[in-house]
Copies of this chain bind each other. A is one copy, B any other.
Amino acid sequence: MAAKSPDFAPTNRKQALRGRIVVLHAFQMLCPGCVSQGIPQASRIQAVFAERELVVIGLHTVFEHHAVMNADALQAFVQEYGLSFPIGIDQPSTQGNVPLTMQAYGLRGTPSLVMLDREGRIRLNHFGPIDDLPLGALLGQLVAEAPAHADEEGIPDPRPPGHGDGQANAGCDSGICARALQLDS
């Protein structure tokens, strides 16, 4: 991942996620739909599932207002909202507004939810709100899957899919922020 994660040192990150389901919550701190829905839902996921089964990781995928959604602002945000899951900062691109992990996963905007199973395979890549009941059902199915090669070395890096289909319009209609696709390099 291109993200800088303050909670998982590079040397043991794969170790920490070995055999666990990973829920990646991509957000921006000034995205209304992230604040009202996505982030509280990520916290609920963290509360409902056992840590040994599933880990929630936030990813601050800033693709607009870069100057004011910096690391210091994020730290204040995390403190005020009392978030306790680890949050990585997506690495800015040198060639456009869309940060590198956001590009790699083909995320269409924020909030987005990416689910990786115990094998590190992407099982969901969803942009926009999703209800708790179908979300819980998906996660319950992943939990029920036995790890295929539990004794193998490490977890394969998730291979990001091709870029998104790009139907979303840029901007923050209804509190959901879609990125401007021409910025996608």
User: Chain B residues near A48 (CB, 8 Å)?
Assistant: 131, 133-134, 137
Contact of A133 among B36, B77, B135 (CB under 8 A): B135
What DSSP secondary structure best describes chain A's contact surface? helix
Contact of A140 among B32, B82, B144 (CB under 8 A): B144
What is the count of identical protomers in the complex? 4
* Beta-carbon contacts under 8 Å, A89-108 to B: none
Asked if A177 is at the interface of the complex by the 8 Å CB criterion, the answer is yes
- A52 vs chain B, min Cβ distance (A): 15
* Beta-carbon contacts under 8 Å, A48-94 to B: 48-49, 64-65, 67-70, 72-73, 76-77, 80-82
Asked if A141 is at the interface of the complex by the 8 Å CB criterion, the answer is yes
- A118 vs chain B, min Cβ distance (A): 13
User: Chain B residues near A145 (CB, 8 Å)?
Assistant: 144
Asked if A181 is at the interface of the complex by the 8 Å CB criterion, the answer is no
- A66 vs chain B, min Cβ distance (A): 10
Best-buried of A49, A73, A131 by chain B (most CB within 10 Å): A73
Asked if A17 is at the interface of the complex by the 8 Å CB criterion, the answer is no
User: Chain B residues near A73 (CB, 8 Å)?
Assistant: 30, 68, 73
User: Chain B residues near A137 (CB, 8 Å)?
Assistant: 48-49, 136-137, 139-140, 143
